[in-house]
Amino acid sequence: MKALSATPVLFVDRVEPTRDWFLKAGFTVMFDVPEGDHLGFAGLQNNGVQVMVETRGNKNESAGVQAKTKEARNAVVFIEVDDVESVIAAMKGTKVLAERHKTFYGADEITYEEPGGHLVTFAQMDR
pLDDT band, residue 61 (cuts 50/70/90) = confident
pLDDT at 3 over 90: no
> pLDDT over 70 for what percent of the chain?
100
- pLDDT, mean of residues 89-112: 96
The β-bridge relationship of strands 119-125 and 107-113 is antiparallel
The CATH superfamily assigned to 9-125 is: 2,3-Dihydroxybiphenyl 1,2-Dioxygenase, domain 1 (3.10.180.10)
Cβ distance 121 to 111 under 8 Å? yes
In whole angstroms, give the CA distance from residue 30 to residue 77.
19
Angle at 89 between CA 42 and CA 123, to 5 degrees: 70
With a threshold of 0.95, does the pTM exceed it?
A: no
What's the whole-number average pLDDT of the chain? 94
